[in-house]
A and B are shown apart, each in its own frame.
Chain A
Amino acid sequence: MGLKTPLFDLHVALGGHMVDFGGWDLPVNYGSQIEEHQAVRRSAGVFDVSHMCVIDLVGARVREFLRYLLANDVARLRLPGKALYSCMLRVDAGILDDLIVYFLDDQHFRLVVNAGTRDQDLAWIRQQAVAFEVAVTERKELAMLAVQGPEARAQLAALLSADEAAAALQLGVFSGAAIGGSCGAHFIARTGYTGEDGFEVMLDAAAAASLWTRLNERGVQSCGLGARDTLRLEAGMNLYGSDMNENFHPLESGLTWTVAFEPRERNFIGRSKLDAVLEYGSERALTGLLLDDRAIMRAHQRVLTSAGIGEITSGSFAPSLGRSVALARVPTAVALPGTQVQVEVRGKALPARVVRPPFVRHGKVLV
């Protein structure tokens, strides 16, 4: 048996089909992954993301520390509660993890990192933090729910006090605040991993099941890891461990936009390697693929192109498109929208077209 989130018993009671996910017992679906996916695209769904790791960083030099630790630049975070997506790199620019960093106050930032990389992340962050005298604390006691979909914000707000609801609904995209005490929440942020609007809620473990049930009672669909994966893939969002890992740098992982090369004088871990890649160009790029045939692209299938062999890093049936989409790492020369390639699917080379992710955003198909 694996690790259990505070919602384990509720998942089982709701008929969740439990699977092992990086050592955690989590629901892959509660019956139909496609129905769960469509609920998030059309109305609202709720996900248990309590397995993700929340780390608080506190110290007088915490901003300086994060400007060194992360490839994106927390100097961009000026308003308390504002969040930023970033990679955390090794010295050779291999991606240790992708994360969200929240600016809470001048002495306090918060990271949310992946569950599967928790141990190595904590060790790395603690090692780097020593020189900056920053205290690193894992917030293991917190549960986390993601409420996602066009109706998600209104559905959660309906369960808050009037003041809290007003504050939550005023949150800008990629911003959070310490609100939601009336439902056991410590922090509500307008973030997610689905390509839809919504909130992520950090709350007391003891309050998580109650909030979930009240959302269900309002018609918010329970959603498992299966729907989370197809939603994020359609939204063109990378999954750590599939689309990137420590053997790849951000420029060959579709994440150039997350690296702050300016200001030039900012030194961050991995910078010198990335400066060199930028100068000479990356040989590989991560891009989107669209398949016309009635078949499904899957991770690790080969992509045959005029410039050499590539590889599918994530592939699935895309419920919003009714066909298969994928992310693939291919030679940069063919990573241009419209380029025709072939994907080896179950022994057949099937035609596919390069497209620029995202495939779907805010319920609309973009490709």
Chain B
Amino acid sequence: MSNVPADLHYARSHEWLRELPDGSVEIGISDHAQHALGDLVFVEAPAVGRKLKAGEACAVVESVKAASDVYSPVGGEVLAINDALVKAPELINQDPYGAGWIWRLRPDGAIAAAGLLDANTYSAVAEAG
């Protein structure tokens, strides 16, 4: 059973999104996704300052098994990326919702209007494969 924290938003493509107190958001891939990929070995994050559209492929996570695109759950400007993943991509396997975050974004609009899933709905999506 994969871990799906209740306080996050999720995309059907297995990204999670956390709302931070300053209005920015933090994004990563779910426990279900990291488990399906296996040991991660490379992570390519979007450039800081890049403007992303909702649903845009903007990062790549590559595991021993396969490379996989990561899609931005919402549109906005990239504020920061997780530099620790360059040396330690396994942080995504070890702590997908914490130290394994991939990028931070200043969102264009309200998160509530972005059509993301809550934890219960995402759990059902992940279970269904």
Chain A positions within 8 Å of B, measured between CB atoms, are 17, 28-29, 32-34, 226, 230, 294-296, 298, 316-317, 319, 346
Contacts and interface: CB of A to CB of B under 8 A. Distances in A.
B39 A32 contact: yes
B64 A34 contact: yes
**Sorted from nearest, which 6 A-B pairs have the closest CB atoms?**
A317-B41, A34-B39, A294-B42, A317-B64, A33-B39, A33-B64
Contacts, number: 35
A316 B62 CA distance: 11
Interface of A, helix, strand, loop or mixed by DSSP? mixed
A346 B57 CA distance: 13
Given A226-B64, A346-B67, A33 B42 contact: no
B38 A296 contact: no
Interface of B, helix, strand, loop or mixed by DSSP? mixed
13 contacts: A32-B93, A33-B39, A226-B38, A226-B65, A295-B42, A296-B41, A296-B67, A316-B64, A317-B42, A317-B62, A317-B64, A319-B64, A346-B60
Given A32-B93, A346-B67, A295 B38 contact: no
B8 to A, nearest CB: 24
Given A226-B64, A226-B65, 12 more contacts: A17-B35, A29-B38, A32-B39, A33-B64, A226-B38, A230-B64, A295-B67, A296-B42, A296-B62, A296-B67, A298-B67, A317-B42
Contacts of A230: 64
Interface residues of B, number: 14
A263 to B, nearest CB: 45
Contact of A33 (B35, B38, B62, B67): B38
A319 B39 CA distance: 10
